[in-house]
């Protein structure tokens, strides 16, 4: 089964929720994981079943990176705030590196997230 991770900096959480609502039917077909707060907000807003890792400041992004290293993830949507990210928020550098090492798709904005979902759907056909 396809497994995707969903992460968002604080200012981008509303955009990720809207994205998940728009693509809910497709996301229902996948096993989803997310960092703690993002996962909680997504589940409340969409009703999607999401396996929540620790919150980003507590290492949830690293837990997701470990799953990439273990070959357990097909892609990550990490909506990051490049202009006003706070020091407590997850840093994309480690995830970007591990995704590149393991050839795992990583989307950092809404347009690339839509392409990631399209690519995953095409691969399943």
Q: Catalytic site residue 61?
A: yes
Which one of the listed residues 10, 51, 61, 81 is annotated catalytic?
Answer: 61
Whether 9 has a binding-site annotation, put simply, is yes
d(CA 3, CA 74): 5
Whether 13 has a binding-site annotation, put simply, is yes
Whether 56 has a binding-site annotation, put simply, is yes
Whether 36 has a binding-site annotation, put simply, is yes
d(CA 15, CA 13): 5
**Inter-residue contact 50 to 31 (CB < 8 Å):** no
Spatial neighbors of 117 by CB under 8 A, at least 6 apart, are: 23, 26, 27
Annotated binding site: 9, 13, 35-38, 55-56, 88
Annotated binding site for substrate: 9, 13, 35-38, 55-56, 88
The catalytic residues are: 61
């Amino acid at each position: 089964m396809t497994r995707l991770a969903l992460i968002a900096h604080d200012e981008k959480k509303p955009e990720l929720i809207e994205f998940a609502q728009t693509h809910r039917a497709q996301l229902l077909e996948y096993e989803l994981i997310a960092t703690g707060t993002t996962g909680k907000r997504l589940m409340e807003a969409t009703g999607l079943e999401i396996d929540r890792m620790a919150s980003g400041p507590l290492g949830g992004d690293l837990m997701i990176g470990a799953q990439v290293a273990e070959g357990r993830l097909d892609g990550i949507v990490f909506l990051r705030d490049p202009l006003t990210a706070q020091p407590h928020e997850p840093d994309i550098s480690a995830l970007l590196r591990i995704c590149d090492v393991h050839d795992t798709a990583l989307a950092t904005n809404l347009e690339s997230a839509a392409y990631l979902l399209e690519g995953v759907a095409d691969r399943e056909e």
